[in-house]
Amino acid sequence: MKLLASILLFFLAANLSTAYGQVGGWYVELGAGPAFSGDLAQEGFNLDSFCYPGFICCPDLDGCNNNNPNQFSGYRWNYQIPTDPGFAFRVGAGREQGSLRIDLNIQYSARNLQQIFSRIAHLDESPAPQFDPNSGVQVTTIATIGRLRVTSLRINTFLDLLPRDRTFRPYLGMGTGVARAVVTDLYYEERYSCTNQPCVGDLSSYDSLQDEDLADVVLLASGHAGFEYILTEKILAGVRFSYTLLQDFNSQGEYTTHRVENLTNTTTFSKLNLLSTMATIRYRL
């Protein structure tokens, strides 16, 4: 259905272009402005089968140190990811023919992220072990996240809603493309130590650390609405509102430190939609 809608829009634009006249030419365009999005969702999992000191499934350290038989298939976790307003800019070139424009552009956007812990469970969705406050074990956990950076290559089609000779020219558009998304500074640290009886000994072998950037290549689709004002015969200035839908972001990460040697995890970021408002300047060649 989406493909059919795209084809119909293209032919509608072509027909309207004929009605308005076939004046055309090449152009270059720049745009920049703020970018916004709602909360993202983060989900991760690994195949760690250990139960850890201080948790109900591991009531004594001897059991833990001897590879407690209460084994699991792995763990999964979820975070809510609020986002701060960011920025976006684009540079592109294209061809206009009457009321139809088609361009190819590169766009970059970035925004800061935060993490709010939601839950942890076993891989099979059964509840994770509960921590025993009387175990004498202290678990210190730090989880932080940096920015989401998206660099995309897009092809767009725009349709002017008024004839070419109008000074004020509203338009609609749609596009598709491919993007490289990067989440920077994903940091997770978990440290184990004894604070009082019955806990004794060194628990550092249970510590874990992940500190890296995650990246993935995803597809995108976008819709546009905006207007241009003709400043001169060659220069047009305007404002464009764009809404972009991106595929879920999946990436495999590695632990710098972990009880399970060479353990990896998989992280998925979803709800990667972006709303941008750009001031644009277009120059006809």
- Rounded Cα gap, residues 155 and 226, in angstroms: 17
Q: How far apart are CA 236 and CA 126, in angstroms?
A: 59
32 burial type by CB count under 10 A (0-12 exposed, 13-18 middle, 19+ buried): middle
Percent of the chain with pLDDT over 90: 72
DSSP 104-157: EEEEEEEEEB--EEEEEEETTSPBPPPB-TTS-EEEEEEEE--EEEEEEEEEEE
Per-residue pLDDT tens digits for 198-246: 887 889 999 999 999 999 999 999 999 999 999 998 999 999 999 999 9
Domains and CATH numbers, the chain: 2-284 (2.40.160.20)
pLDDT at 262: 93
Q: Residues 125-159: pLDDT tens digits? A: 888 888 888 889 999 999 999 999 999 999 999 99
Structure-block tokens of residue 4:
């059919």
Cα–chain center distance at 83: 10
d(CA 244, CA 175): 9
pTM above 0.95, yes or no: no
Cis omega (within 30 of 0) for bond into 198:
yes
Tell me if 9 sits within 8 A of 159, measured CB to CB. Answer: yes
